[in-house]
Amino acid sequence: MKDLSNYRKSYEKSALLEHQIPEDPINLFYKWFYEAEDLNAAEEVNAMTVATIGLDGFPKSRVVLLKKFNEEGFIFYTNYNSEKGKAIIENPNVCLSFFWPTVERQIIIKGKAEKTADNISDNYFASRPDGSKLGALVSPQSEIIPNRELLETNLLALEKEWEGKEIERPSHWGGFLVRPVEVEFWQGRPNRLHDRIRYQLHDDIDWKIDRLAP
């Protein structure tokens, strides 16, 4: 067994103090996101972990790409018939998390997911490269398939079928908007005394701010 007990790092790059933060977590998310982007804090700054409760009762996490965020929440896209999509439709309570190691920061977001309007999914799908569009059509996401050749053969057939045409978004593929109810910002600090600031939504209007022990 590999012993990892000596893997240690001292976090000393920044601090998160109450007098420095806005009343609204979205504004702090904006600030942290663009700081992470400017400092190349990760290869894909918009990569986030989405955790769901599956139909089998087990939690499951996977990395997806955040494609939009605003005051309403956070949007990503997927196949609604996938394991992830079915889990969210059955139980819309999800958790999103970002980890930007270069700046020693995490953000953990609890929220409720809902499908985006068709026009929002249509507009995003239209912006994708044709290869990505066809990939959404050809892949029965999360289903068992016999081999990779099936995907490649079906992709060739679809390329011929849609050649010279505008590729349409399939109805089973689209966006989820996650409306946050709790957002925690984590800033690494020395001696494992990390800063943790939590925003909780009250009465769908006001955000309560607390400091949590590390």
- Residues tagged active-site: 192
| C-alpha torsion 75→77→82→86, nearest 10 | 30
* Alpha-carbon span 214 to 211, nearest angstrom: 9
* Alpha-carbon span 52 to 32, nearest angstrom: 24
Question: What DSSP state is assigned to residue 19?
Answer: G
Q: What are phi and psi of 123, to 5 degrees?
A: -65, -40
Q: Would you say the C-alpha torsion 156, 161, 164, 167 has a positive or negative sign?
A: negative
Chain CA centroid to CA 183, Å:
13
In the chain, the DSSP E strands lie at 47-53, 59-65, 68-69, 74-79, 93-100, 105-115, 173-187, 195-202, 206-212
